Structure 1
Amino acid sequence: MSKLLHYTGCGLEYVYLSGGYKEEEMGGDIYISVHNSESLYNSIAEAIVSSPYVLRGQEVRFLRGRLRLSQEGFAEALRGCSRSTVARWEAQRNEAIDETADAAIRWLYVRKMANDQEVIATFQRLREIEEAEYGQKSSFPDSVFESTEQGWELKAA
């Protein structure tokens, strides 16, 4: 088994990698390069939305980032939620959010990844609004992700 790397580059405090990365020293500093990071991030998101644990601020921020939405766009997609609520969830990294919001976020993420055309159209409208307005585009256990021939996979605990 390869050395486990505590990977915090994704913004989550409990992710460890088994293989699939390279350490390089440059000027006395160690840099980490992750192979196929998009696949890794998809695997992490799948593990989050399928877990039995209530989402906390750090998972909300990670999933929002995967959806490529601003806090305001994310709040709008959740309907009935404000940007300040999303900001509060994310600032309280280790605090569980309420179960209704948890279910809505998981549903939204799964529908988007399943290429639900209505959800995709909503996201596109939100991005267009953000571009017009802002001129820009828009307690979990430790988790070990292993690089395999099929891509990154969550290792069984």
Structure 2
Amino acid sequence: MYHYRECGLRNVWLANGYDEHDTPYGPGIAIHDVEGLHRAIAHGIVNKGGKLTGSELRFLRQEMGLSQAKLASMLGNEAQTVALWEKRSSQPKIADRFIRAIYRELDEGNAHIRDMIERLVDSDLEENDARITLEQDSGGWKVAA
């Protein structure tokens, strides 16, 4: 068995799916289908019981291609807050659930959820007193285009 520490997690062991070989610098390992391996690790993390550890949160964030700042803005926090969650494993329960849900949606191919969250983040940057214009048609009231 190979202790796969390269992913940043201490508890990942590979029963197979890798080759050992000699290099001029010593023994080496070649992992088969690293992308698939990382998806499987993420599934294990998302579906496990208990709270995410800081390193698990970091792993999921990186698998989703999010910076600490981007994840923080999605959650209405500061980047330093996410950094502390990753360092101390002390994120609030709602953040834990949200991160798991977002990963599941992205993994299942639902890019709409990410688009929606990014629009929400962008809307935080807009003026709060922006005018909302409404119009009524046969279907009822709607926000005017």
Q: TM-score normalized by structure 1?
A: 0.69
Superposed displacement of residue 124, structure 1: 6.9
Structure 2 residue 110 is the aligned partner of structure 1 residue 116: yes
Q: Which residue of 1 aligns with 2:46?
A: 49
Q: Which runs of 5+ in 1 are unaligned?
A: 127-157
3-state SS of 2:66 partner: coil
Q: Deviations over 1:13-34 (max 9, x none)?
A: 0000011101122124222110
Residue of structure 1 aligned with 2:86, choices 72, 85, 90: 90
For 1:82, the aligned partner's letter is E
Q: Which runs of 5+ in 2 are unaligned?
A: 121-145
Specify which structure has the bigger relative contact order, considering alpha-carbon pairs within 8 angstroms and separated by 6 or more residues: 1
Structure showing greater Rg: 2
Label 1:123 to 1:42 Cα distance change in 2 as closer, same or farther (>3 A): farther
Q: Deviations over 1:16-64 (max 9, x none)?
A: 0011101122124222110011111001101100111210110011000
Q: In structure 1, what is the Cα distance between the partners aligned to 2:92 and 2:10?
A: 21
Label 1:66 to 1:123 Cα distance change in 2 as closer, same or farther (>3 A): farther
Q: In structure 2, what is the Cα distance between the partners aligned to 1:22 and 1:100?
A: 40
3-state SS of 1:9 partner: helix
Runs of 4+ with deviation above 3 angstroms: 122-126
Q: Deviations over 1:46-100 (max 9, x none)?
A: 11001112101100110001001111111122x22221111112223xx343222
Q: TM-score normalized by structure 2?
A: 0.74
- Cα RMSD for the two superposed structures: 2.0
Matches within 5 A, 1:7-156: 7-77=4-74, 79-92=75-88, 95-122=89-116
Q: In structure 2, what is the Cα distance between the partners aligned to 1:33 and 1:96?
A: 34
Task: State the aligned residue count.
Answer: 120
Contact 2:3 2:12 in 1 (8 A): yes
Label 1:124 to 1:97 Cα distance change in 2 as closer, same or farther (>3 A): closer
Q: In structure 2, what is the Cα distance between the partners aligned to 1:32 and 1:38?
A: 16
